[in-house]
Amino acid sequence: MNTVKGRVIQVENSFDQGFIAEVKLLSGSNSQMIGFAKQIICNQTRFKLPVYLVETGKQEGTYRLLMNTTTYPEQEKVRLVEQFKDQEFELIVEEDPYFELHHNCQKMLLIIDQSALFVNLAEIDFLSLKNIEFNVFVIAEEKDPILDYLQEKYGRNITILSSFTADDVQAVLDKQLIGTKLFISGDWSMVRDIKQAGYSVGFTDKEMQTKEIGIKEEKVYCVKCYNHNMKTNRSEITCVHCHTVLDVSNHFSKRLDAYLGYIHVV
């Protein structure tokens, strides 16, 4: 972790989900590919929200800062933006926990749900700034300002799909060359389905990265009736299908996408 202080050079763009600014670091350094902070301090006020830093390369010490204000009330957003424009800020940055660039990465394919667009702008920026070949498939039912921003900035690298069926996934993944890495982001069920498609065409866990958003709905597989149950924090559950008491194991089955529930022995 590194503590950095900086000041805004220019606010580049603002969206409902957050805003993007070019900043200059005044002290400290960011040694990470993508710096990530859980909070930002402006004028001695602490704002707890995700912040990303990507080095722009324009000049030494300049970065693109992306601040995710999705969960912030509107009044708090306005106050943060006003303070951020006029004051120095402080961040404690660490490595983005969701992103890794493999040394042999020739190309990265990103499949992102519309709801997860803003939280992945830093990854897209990083790939572009490092001149790494990439293509982004966005699953979107309607256009929004972030999509317009991406298309204007990256053009043909961005493909918008109104739906993404299993056949669509298969067709896209089948066309990828050896060395392509896969980055998937969206809700847990969407990520799970696309990972399964990735496995089916030969992608390994090392070749896939994921950034899930929202609450994970974990499941328990009943070994007696072969149905799924919702996982709770308890070590025992009763199967809602066959009413068998199950011991919830720590073993997670990728094939079943669930923890195994064994018949409880008294």
CB-CB contact of 97 with 122 (8 Å): no
According to DSSP, the residues that pair with 52 across neighbouring strands are 36, 66
pLDDT for 260: 95
Q: Residue 149 above 90 pLDDT?
A: yes
> Which CATH number applies to 2-95?
2.40.30.10
The CA distance from 21 to 65, in Å, is 5
**Residues 21, 22, 28: CA angle, nearest 5 degrees:** 115
Domains of the chain, by residue range, sit at: 2-95, 107-213, 219-263
- Mean pLDDT of the chain, nearest integer: 89
Q: What is the DSSP letter of 100?
A: -
C-alpha torsion sign, points 77, 81, 87, 92:
positive
Q: How confident is the model over 83-137, as pLDDT tens digits?
A: 887 789 999 999 988 888 877 788 999 999 999 999 999 999 999 988 899 999 9
pLDDT bin (cut points 50, 70, 90) of residue 220 is very high
The mean per-residue pLDDT over the stretch 52-72 comes to: 88
pLDDT for 29: 82
pLDDT for 89: 93
pLDDT for 105: 82
Q: Residue 163 above 80 pLDDT?
A: no
pLDDT for 211: 93
**More confident position, 125 or 79:** 125
In CATH terms, the fold of domain 107-213 is Rossmann fold (3.40.50)
pLDDT for 164: 72
pLDDT for 70: 87
pLDDT for 261: 95
The mean per-residue pLDDT over the stretch 53-73 comes to: 87
Lowest mean per-residue pLDDT among 140-144, 223-227, 232-236: 140-144
246 is written with which tokens? 């199950």
The CA distance from 220 to 254, in Å, is 12
